[in-house]
Structure 1
Amino acid sequence: MIEDHATLLTPEEMADADAAAAASGIDSYGLMEKAGWAVAAAALRLYPQTCRFVVLCGPGNNGGDGYVAARALAEAGAGVQIFVLDVAFEPAGDAGIARRACPLPALPLSDLSLQEGDTIIDAVFGAGLARDVPTDLRAVIAAVEAFGLPVIAVDLPSGLCGRRGVPLGAAFNATHTVTFMARKPGHLLMPGRLLCGDVEVVDIGIPWRIVRSAGGALRVNQPSLWRHLLSKPDSGSHKYRRGHLAVFSGGASHTGAARLSAEAGLASGAGLVTVASPPDAMGVNAGHLTAVMLREVENASAIREWLASGKLSAFVLGPGFGVGAKARDFVLALDGHPLVLDADGITSFRDCPDPLFDAYRGETRLVLTPHEGEFARLFPDISEAWDLSKVDKAVAAARRSSAVVVYKGADTVIAAPDGRAAVNENAPPWLATAGSGDVLAGMIGALLANGMPAFEAAAAGVYLHGEAALRAGEGMTAEALVHAIRPLDVD
């Protein structure tokens, strides 16, 4: 039974867990047996009509899992053939034991001739692969793809980097992946998520105290990470206890994005929401706002006066605001108050990020919500580092900026300056629509206004944003997304 579905282990952390399990006296070959039998069980359950299971075995422990699976399938009466990269190579350790225990011959990969009715069991390379796949395996990957054969990957599709989620030259496109104890970043990060198919996590008997000890600060973004910090209205609640969120509007022809953020903030639990509007946009904003309040804010001096007189909890700046010195001046006038900086607000600091970062040193009060292009503008050197995963990049950016970074995309990563990070997985494809980012900024802003710490507010906002999109359904607009926002049951 998997104890914690939010756990993610890098390949290095999983290797540490395996080593610690063996050092504690657990039979490592026994773990391999359980892994291989789990793969065989998945193969028989998913593809009972298979004419031949083609088991591709590599030189390491991933191949050992494959030999165990092949033996188990043969004992169940299935047709099985094993193919290896190098028939002369004798695996060491547990993989060697597994190969010797398997009565089936290991045939050279060059002898493989695919047939209709085959199911491929990919046990060549696991999550720890750090080099491009060899040429002969690339040819097999291409042939399997051309035939359209189902592939069950052991741990991770061969050729896929378990840390970065990117193909190393080429990778199998699996229909099902069986991994052990915990998922790896490569299962969630794009494009790896698309290459893994359905991911099945199997408990092979490593104690959870060992798994938790080996794990770092990376998690799957799930309510267990932040549910306990959500504000829950009670009989003593009033609007000021639930926080006052202010959203800055652009000029008269660019007001819609700010209103989306404001409405999302109100729907997400802020007690009060005010749109701070330039004079020329007051009329158009007033014509569209009801429960959201409106205040004229023309310059940085007006912000300082408002801060001195108002009960303001958090701010959103960027959606439709415009790029330039005004955005920078407004941000710096906020004097370190909790802020979600999005879109134009981020781009305004692309040539001079240090004043922004310096203004938010110390307690983490800034949330940056860049998409790929905005991230590259603000952190160009980090963005171009090919050897870093999206998680690594987000964490590096968070540390540099002293901010929580919400690195958006189908695999949104939320990272904190202290190294914590979470990968989101509940966002549907139709969330990629105009205005959805404005809605997200308002949702995170509301949670900041409620008093949630920045990392948890960002993670909760991203998750609830995905849930709202699932609720709204395919073809939704940003307006429909706002109407689909619901609180999470915190009981």
Structure 2
Amino acid sequence: MYPAYIHTQATARNIDHAAIETYRIPSLILMEHAAIESTKIIEKHITIDKSICILCGPGNNGADGLAIARLLQTKYSKLFVVVPEVKNMSEEEKIQFQMIQNLNIEYDYNLPNETYDVYIDCIFGNGLSRDITGFYKAMIQNVNATHSTIISIDMPSGIDATMGNILGCAIHADYTISLDCYKQGQWLNDGKSHCGKLYLVDIGIPQILHQKCMNIIKVLNEEDIHIPDRPLTAHKSTFGKALMIGGSQNMHGAIHMASLSAYKSGIGTLTLMVPECISNILAIKSDFYMLLQCSDRNGTFSSKAIEVLKQNMNNYSILSIGNGMQKNNVTISLVEQVLKSDKKVVLDADALWAAQKNIDLLKRNETTILTPHIKEMSDLTGINITTILSNPFEIARDFSKEYKNCVLILKSSQTYIAHQGNVYVLDAQNAGLAKGGSGDILCGIVVAMLGQCKDPMQAALCATYLHSQSAKLDIDLASFMPEDIINNIPNTLKRLRS
């Protein structure tokens, strides 16, 4: 699979420029590759009896459109091209324009009154930096009003390629074919809804130019996942000794689900540190984990749990905390002790709220994996929810650069996994996961992978992907139960290993 990088407008343009200037790949060659690959996708969706109007703006996105017109004209008998005035064309666009003239492809400088079945948007692409007004604003509004199929090349014209905001007005595409890399604005704000179905095509730019970027943003694919081996000579301690701290009278199910998913995902040994009031319930539910009971007060840990943790945590290689706990001072103190340890740590749920009280402890030397959803990320960092949603790439990247030994798994409809400035995005939206317990299952898988993977980022990537794939079930989304996901982990693991 072609590596799917995501870049800002500036980075994407710099990479394109470097391919031409440093690697001496002519712009017209890249343009031809873009046209060939875009035409393949267009032909998959558009039958040859459909009429097509290609909208070309002034610049190389318009030149891409002219190249596409040249390739489509052999199959589509009703093809029309809108072109800018020659004086406004780039040099490459003038060359492409001469070709369509020589081929007698019909064109004009204005949008025809006739409505076409399909419009291919090559007006502005990735280079737009100002609001659209006048002639092109009217063109975009008229095309949007047709309700015809619209295919955008690289970016829907009018969408900012970095932030995804509308610049005056914007094409509302059914399909967007992104050239060389995804643009960050395709994933953010208005960009998400204006791109329609998103495709990525290789246009021949050397991969090294993407890999050399200081901070990488990449779509998580199966090729990025390396499920750890299970050596035949291994023993249970090889795969981690985990202590899960959590639970309360009202939420004993959370830590139980986390423990089940941890065991199904391969943790070596597992002990649950829980309030005494729920220990009998958990003992009845399962017999594979060990229990470390602590005195309770009003259904949650009492302050005596802090001393119990101090006395026992050196027996474990991984400490996980947060599932089913409550927001109180004891939770804050327990999280503080965990973060002061030299153990690998996983923070989830109310532990994330508690970590904010001593957030500098996240600058610890050992690995910490955090699994917040958007609201928990706001509680942890103090950043407004709206700000996080407007650019989760930047929020995740900046957090992971400040807390260098942390791996962040920021959960939303898309999941962002960040470590030391590099970000992966898991684009696997699944409404079946919009239920209580899904996050606890992910936490358990993270614990298990942290016990097996040497690299903490790989542990987070494996866990997030395994969780997502295990939730791909042939049942109605409303009927998902946490146990359905947990019971599918073994099959998913087997497939990923093979």
TM range (shorter): 0.7 to 0.9
Query: What pairs with 1:206-221 in structure 2 (closer than 5 Å)?
Result: 206-213=205-212, 216-221=215-220
* Contact 2:86–2:94 under 8 Å retained in 1: no
Q: TM-score if structure 1 supplies the norm length?
A: 0.87
Match of 1:425 among 420, 424, 427: 427
SS in 2 for 1:162: coil
* Equivalent of 1:261 in 255, 258, 262: 258
Which range moved further: 177-186 or 299-308? 177-186
Q: In the alignment, which residue of structure 2 is the partner of 1:278? A: 275
Measured at CA, do residues 386 and 470 of structure 1 come closer, stay the same or move farther in structure 2, by a change above 3 Å? closer
**Alignment check: 8 A CA contact 2:176 2:199 kept:** yes
Distance 1:72 1:148 in 2: 25
Match of 1:305 in 2: 311
- The one-letter amino acid paired with 2:310 is R
Whether 1:377 and 2:379 are equivalent positions in the alignment is yes
Query: Which secondary structure does the structure 1 equivalent of 2:336 belong to?
Result: helix
CA distance in 2, matches of 1:81, 1:376: 50
Aligned length: 476
The CA distance in 1 between the partners of 2:217 and 2:293, in whole Å, is: 42
2:332 is matched by which residue type in structure 1? R
Instruction: Tell me the distance in 1 between the aligned counterparts of 2:124 and 2:329.
Output: 52
1:325 alignment counterpart:
329
**After superposition, what is the alpha-carbon deviation per residue over 1:25-63, rounded to whole angstroms, capped at 9, x for unaligned?**
222122213322433343334212454212122222111
Q: Deviations over 1:204-239 (max 9, x none)?
A: 333334444458422222343341xx4322221221
Distance in 2 between the 1:92 and 1:305 partners?
72
The alignment status of 1:408 with 2:411, answered yes or no, reads yes
Q: 2:10 aligns to what?
A: 12
Report SS of the residue matched to 1:102: helix
SS at match of 1:445: helix
User: Are 1:245 and 1:265, in contact at CA under 8 Å, matched by a contact in 2?
Assistant: no
Determine whether 1:68 maps to 2:67. Answer: yes
Return the letter of the residue paired with 1:185: Q
The one-letter code matched in structure 2 to 1:219 is K
- What is the alpha-carbon distance in structure 2 between the residues aligned to residue 124 and residue 437 of structure 1? 43
Kindly tell me: are residues 77 and 233 of structure 1, through their superposed partners in 2, closer, same or farther at Cα, counting changes over 3 Å? Answer: closer
The aligned counterpart of 1:203 is 202
The aligned residue for residue 484 of structure 1 is: 488
Which amino acid is the alignment partner of residue 46 of structure 1?
Answer: H
Q: Is the contact made by 1:10 and 1:185 (CA closer than 8 Å) also made in structure 2? A: yes
Classify the secondary structure of the residue corresponding to 2:19. Answer: helix
Are 1:159 and 2:133 matched, yes or no?
no
CA distance in 2, matches of 1:191, 1:407: 21
**Quick check: 1:14–1:214 contact (8 Å CA) kept in 2?**
no
Question: Counterparts of 2:109 and 2:366 in 1: how far apart (Å)?
Answer: 58
Q: Is 1:105 the equivalent of 2:107?
A: yes
Specify the code of the residue in structure 2 equivalent to 1:259. H
Question: Judging changes above 3 Å, is the alpha-carbon distance between structure 1 residues 35 and 451 closer, same or farther for their aligned structure 2 residues?
Answer: closer
| Counterparts of 2:382 and 2:81, CA distance in 1 | 47
In 2, Cα distance between the equivalents of 1:427 and 1:466? 9
Shift of 1:192: 4.0
**Residue 58 (structure 1) aligns with:** 57
Identity of aligned residues (%): 25
Structure 2's unaligned 5+ residue stretches are: 296-304
Look up the equivalent residue of 2:417 and give its one-letter code. I
Structure 1 gap ranges (5+): none
Shift in alpha-carbon separation, 1:193–1:293, aligned structure 2, 3 A: farther
The 3 A distance-change label for structure 1 pair 397 and 168 is farther
Flag the structure with higher helix content.
2
Contact 2:320 2:345 in 1 (8 A): yes
SS of alignment partner, residue 472 of structure 2: helix
Cα distance in 1 for residues equivalent to 2:474 and 2:246? 26
